Amino acid sequence: MSGITIAVVILIAVGAYFMVTYNAFVTLRNRIKEAWSDIEVQMKRRYDLIPNLVETVKGYAKHESTTLEKVIQARNMAMAPHQNIKDAAQSENLLTGALKSIFALSENYPDLKANQNFLELQRELRDTEDKLQAARRFYNGNVLAYNTKTELFPSNAVAGIFKFEKEEFFELDEEEAETAKKSVSVKF
């Protein structure tokens, strides 16, 4: 083989590697967008359930307006546009905490705990929370794959050339994680 042929083969191999790696980054980035969309769908479902829950609780717990106002305020903050994933995660975590407080509040009102509407809303919210957690895990798994590819050699060269930057995980901060662990013991 001549030197020109070898050079052409090497250029084709390098070009093919860049093309395959670029396409892999695009695929991973689109999976992250799809996963985020799944999270948004579940958050919207939760946002839609909250006003019904608050109205149901209002009928039984008239003296608990502060707790109910905190839930509505947390919902409104979570629904607001966010600059980044970290801000969205913080708002969502505040909303989760507020919802836990409303369910803990129901312990003081036996009639509320027995109300079929309340029980159904509670079941739907629990189901939504489970789906939201699954969507977050799916999102974070895609972010992990994407971020790993942006850091590994030689794909990091392709990432640098085409400006594929690391994505943020959707996660609890340490203080919120501790609070969530402690509140798991609340019985409904």
- The 10s digit of each residue's pLDDT in 36-81 is 999 999 999 999 999 988 888 887 776 677 888 888 999 999 999 8
- Asked if 170 and 39 touch (Cβ cutoff 8 Å), the reply is yes
Q: Is residue 146 part of a domain?
A: yes
Q: Which domain holds residue 16?
A: 3-183
pTM of the model: 0.76
CATH number at residue 106: 1.20.1440.20
Number of domains in the chain: 1
- Asked whether residue 188 is domain-assigned, the answer is no
Q: Is residue 139 part of a domain?
A: yes
Establish if 45 belongs to a structural domain. yes
Asked if residues 165 and 151 have their Cβ atoms less than 8 Å apart, the reply is: no
Question: Is residue 77 included in any domain, yes or no?
Answer: yes
pLDDT in tens, 89-99: 888 888 988 88
Residue 40 lies in a domain: yes
Q: What is the identity of the amino acid at 152? A: L
Q: Decide if 142 is inside a domain.
A: yes
Residue 42 tokens read as: 């579940």
Does residue 10 lie in a domain region?
Answer: yes
User: What is the rounded CA–CA span in Å between residue 21 and residue 24?
Assistant: 5
Contact 60, 109 (CB under 8 A): yes
